Structure 1
Amino acid sequence: MQAALRFLDLLGALNRSVAAVGLWLAMALVALMTGIVLTGVFFRYVLNDSITWVEDVALIMMVSTAFIVAPHAYRTGANVAIEMVTAVLPAMLLRVLRVVINMLILWLIWRYFLESLALVDRGWGIRVNTVPIPWAWPYMILPVAFAAMVLVAVELIGRDLWALIFRSDAADLPHVAPIEPE
């Protein structure tokens, strides 16, 4: 029983660390992307000489940023939710519903993870239009993000299963509002 709780805590610490690194990387990418876009605008409208690679690099950075922060958003519940439905559910039913939903999400993420590996493989044969690299390099963020999201899904499912089995909220994440007893 305590071993399972320690496992969830270790997995949570790993997920929290991965999310923190992702947030810092995303902030750096947004700052870098902003600088690149502003430089591109300056060159185009002030110097009347466009930099050809600005759009492709900015697009790669923007998409990468979204995938880098996805594990953090999933773990913290920063996704879109309809809470008026879940607010009226009994506590145990809500936990069962969260387990079912997170299991479906886990299945989808796993499928996307496998597809992303195939995408990276195909990307080695395709070049970015204006940058001399294969698309596989920018695509590599996909399996990394999906693998991190698999770990988050396992943690969230484990925490709710713990609460259902042991009738305890000891494994709940602090940012998730506690479920009131029935």
Structure 2
Amino acid sequence: MQDFLKSVAKVMGLVSTLALWLAGLGLVLMTTIVFAQVFVRYVLNDSIVWSEPLAVILMGWFIFLGAAVGIREGNHLSFDVLILFIPEKLKNLFFSLSDIVVVAFGFGMTWYGSELMLAGWHIKIPSLGFSDAVNFMPLVGGGVLMMLFSLERLARRAAGLPTARFAETSIED
């Protein structure tokens, strides 16, 4: 079982790295788009009509992808303060409880984000020319990754393998 989970950790590590790179790329693109809009608006006295909606979509992607990676790395959504005061024997229970709550939260993001995405599928964003559903895709993608990464953490803990906590060493070790 541990060998299987180590293989899964390698795949999840690749997914996490890809998500982090995409989030970084989204941040750079959003920054570039906003800078271009400010330049065009105040220097050329014109406007890029598609800059704001595209920047918001990119922001959604890098926020939710980054949050999911933060969960996998043990840097996001946890019992940070409480963990310092409880006995060592209870810490894994609280880490597992935290991961279960994050799975439920990720499921809610995926479920309700999918409903919003489907509801907006037929609506077009005028300045971009594509479906309003893209505004909710980051919510769904981030929710799925949060569930996957939290389930991976639960499985590793159940098998006696380490999980990343508070930016400790990588879990692929």
TM class by smaller structure: 0.7 to 0.9
Q: Match for residue 47 of structure 2?
A: 50
Q: Deviations over 1:18-60 (max 9, x none)?
A: 1111111112111111211111111111111112221111111
- Rg (Cα) greater in structure: 1
From 134, 137, 144, the equivalent of 1:137 is 134
TM-score when scaled to structure 1?
A: 0.82
What is the CA–CA distance in structure 1 between the aligned matches of 2:138 and 2:109, rounded to whole Å?
12
What is the CA–CA distance in structure 2 between the aligned matches of 1:149 and 1:81, rounded to whole Å?
13
What SS does the aligned partner of 1:48 have?
coil
Q: What is the root-mean-square deviation in Å for CA atoms of aligned residues?
A: 2.1
After TM superposition, the structure 1 = structure 2 runs for residues 18-97 of structure 1, keeping only pairs within 5 Å, are 18-79=15-76, 81=78, 83-97=80-94
- Aligned-pair CA distance for 1:134: 0.8
Give the unaligned 5+ runs of structure 1: 164-170
- Do the aligned partners of 2:157 and 2:163 also contact (CA within 8 Å) in 1? no
What is the CA–CA distance in structure 2 between the aligned matches of 1:153 and 1:80, rounded to whole Å?
11
Structure 1 residues 58 and 126: CA distance shift in structure 2, 3 A: same
Q: Deviations over 1:4-29 (max 9, x none)?
A: 21232122222211111111111211
- Do the aligned partners of 2:124 and 2:130 also contact (CA within 8 Å) in 1? yes
After TM superposition, the structure 1 = structure 2 runs for residues 140-151 of structure 1, keeping only pairs within 5 Å, are 140-151=137-148
What is the CA–CA distance in structure 2 between the aligned matches of 1:156 and 1:73, rounded to whole Å?
12
What is the CA–CA distance in structure 2 between the aligned matches of 1:32 and 1:84, rounded to whole Å?
36
Structure 1 residues 11 and 96: CA distance shift in structure 2, 3 A: same
- Aligned-pair CA distance for 1:175: 5.6
- Aligned-pair CA distance for 1:160: 2.1
What letter corresponds to residue 54 of structure 1 in structure 2?
A: S
- Do the aligned partners of 1:56 and 1:129 also contact (CA within 8 Å) in 2? no
